Homo-oligomer: A and B are copies of this chain.
Amino acid sequence: MTTIKDIAELAGVSVGTVDRALNNRGRISPEAKKRIESIAAKLNYRKNKVAKSLANRKLNLKIAVVLHIHSNEFFGEVLRGIERARTEIVDFGISMELYRCKEFDPQDQLHLIDTAIAEGANAVVIVPINHPEIIKRLHRLNEEHIPFVLLASVLEDVKFFSAVRCDYARSGWMAGGLLRLISGGGCKALAFFPSFSMLGHKQRLESFRLYLEKHCPGITLENVVELPNDGFDSYQIVREELSSHPHVSHIVYNGVYSEAGIKAIENSGRRIQSIFFDFAPPTKQALIEGKISAAILQQPEEQGYRAIMVLFDYFTANVIPPEQTIVESYILFKESIEALPK
């Protein structure tokens, strides 16, 4: 493994000069820079992440995580991933601060971003609320050269450092495929989706609809309902929809309050097959008990973890991440999780 010291010796200069050459810090003659760079290339020099991090400690690097809500089933998992990342980066001298927001309150989120910067954040992971003020603030982050990572969300017209999310269109498509599979291609169905103010949810629905149109002439989607941001209201809505659509036999439920959906189906007394998104404990239990047919997971824990690690790699090894990190969606059914015999 070659070190800057090796390069310095070969080039007949000091390590300081090599450092300046290889990190574009200026204050170096073009010739020296070029010579050193070519030696480094020839020796296939790679900066040692560990040594760099040890030296970096003095910089006191800090990552701010700004949410759009306080927490919920999905983001509780996301936060677990973020906490796991935290334990991995502390030894590298990088700290992390969490800023939770009042539910979908753009003003509060704006304030949180300001606070984070004021408190010395060198980078931001954010679940942005889709609001002009927030977009404007993100533009300003770019001007201030504070890299930010979009987490579990889609945002148009903003240049970001990187984004970590699932493929919303894909998971909608998969829901269509699953519905076809469990219904044999013929049924009347209802779909419930969370707030369309998150663009991803809209994309997912579009894709789900498209699948049914293209591949499922026998499936009638009787209604698509946007769920409110409350468990009891959600419950009520599902109950009412089921009442007013007495022939519906299948449901796709993509709500933040999974228990609302489960209970509403159960209490309807009907024999309904259903596909749920995500995997909070109620969903897990319901799946095991056969109350729901399948769940589509989007690895929230992994998304939270990745979002931090993108910045970690940047800080420790100057890695420029891909524009998007897409976390795979996958399917669980009863047999994936129930206890095995013996």
Minimum C-beta distance from A156 to chain B (A): 16
| Cα-based distance from A331 to B329 in the complex (angstroms) | 10
Judging by beta carbons under 8 Å apart, are B329 and A336 in contact?
yes
* Partner pick for A173 among B49, B92, B330, B335, CB 8 A cutoff: B335
Q: Which of A98-106, A175-183, A225-233 contacts B (4 or more CB under 8 A)?
A: A175-183
* Partner pick for A330 among B90, B174, B336, CB 8 A cutoff: B336
CB-based nearest B residue for A317: B91
Judging by beta carbons under 8 Å apart, are A331 and B334 in contact?
no
* Partner pick for A169 among B91, B329, B340, CB 8 A cutoff: B340
A17 at the binding interface (Cβ < 8 Å): no
* Partner pick for A333 among B93, B177, B214, CB 8 A cutoff: B177
CB-based nearest B residue for A210: B341
Q: A53-B50, A92-B50, A181-B181 are in contact. Are A336 and B210 (CB under 8 A)?
A: no
- Which residues on the B side are within 8 Å of A214 (C-beta)? 341
Minimum C-beta distance from A257 to chain B (A): 25
* Partner pick for A91 among B50, B181, B334, CB 8 A cutoff: B50
A92-128 residues with Cβ-Cβ distance < 8 A to B are: 92-93
Judging by beta carbons under 8 Å apart, are B170 and A333 in contact?
no
Convert A269-283 into 0s and 1s, putting 1 for each residue whose CB lies closer than 8 angstroms to a CB of B: 000000000000000
Convert A46-62 into 0s and 1s, putting 1 for each residue whose CB lies closer than 8 angstroms to a CB of B: 10111101100000000
CB-based nearest B residue for A178: B335
Q: Which residues of A contact B (CB under 8 A)?
A: 1, 46, 48-51, 53-54, 90-93, 169-170, 173-174, 176-178, 181-182, 184, 207, 210-211, 214, 329-336, 340-341
